[in-house]
Amino acid sequence: MWWTTRQGKVSILVSLSRLLCRGIDRHGRTHHDRALAFYAEVLGLDKQVDVPLPQLGGRWITVAPPGSTTSIALVPASGKNPAGVETGIRLATADAAAMHQYLRSQVAVDELLRWEGVPPMFAFRDPDGNGLEIVQ
C-alpha cells in the first residue's frame, strides 16, 4: 500500500505478527498531540480515530496511510506498554536517501545503510523514542 507525503511515496510493510494483530500496533506515547503531529504532519499518515480512553489514562488515536485498513495505535505509555521501545514497524519509500535527509531535521536518525543486494534503509526514533525503520 502506498500513500503520498511531502517527500514522495511511502508504504507500511507489516510483518506477519502485525497482521495477526489485525494491523494495530500498540506503542506508548508520552504526549498525544506531539505524537499525532509527528505521524500525521511529518510522516503523512491520516488520523482515523481520536477518542478519550480513561481506561488507559488518555486517548486512543489511530493513524494510517490514506485508504488503508492497517493502522498504528498511539496509546499512553504504561508499565506494560512503555515508550521508547523498538516497534518493529517498517515504512517503505521510493527514495530512502531523500527521506533520510528529510527526517534528520525532525527526529533522531541512524546512518543510511547501503549494502550490496539489499535495499537502502535506516532506523529512526519518533519524538517519544520509539524505534521504526525506513526501507527503499
The predicted structure's pLDDT at residue 45: 87
The series of mean pLDDT values per 10 residues for the chain, 136 residues long, is 42 34 38 86 90 82 80 80 83 88 93 96 90 90
Question: Who contacts 70 (Cβ-Cβ below 8 Å, separation ≥6)?
Answer: 1, 12, 14, 18, 23, 64
Query: Sheet holding 24-29: strands in order across?
Result: 24-29, 71-76, 58-64, 46-53
Task: Report yes or no: 134 and 99 within 8 Å, Cβ to Cβ.
Answer: yes
Kindly state the DSSP code that residue 34 receives in the 8-state scheme: H
State how far the Cα of 34 lies from the Cα of 127, in Å rounded to an integer. Answer: 7
64: burial class by Cβ within 10 Å (0-12, 13-18, 19+)?
Answer: buried
Residues 6+ apart with CB under 8 A from 31: 127, 128
Residue from 1, 76, 90 nearest 46 by CA? 1
Q: Domains in the chain and their CATH numbers?
A: 3-135 (3.10.180.10)
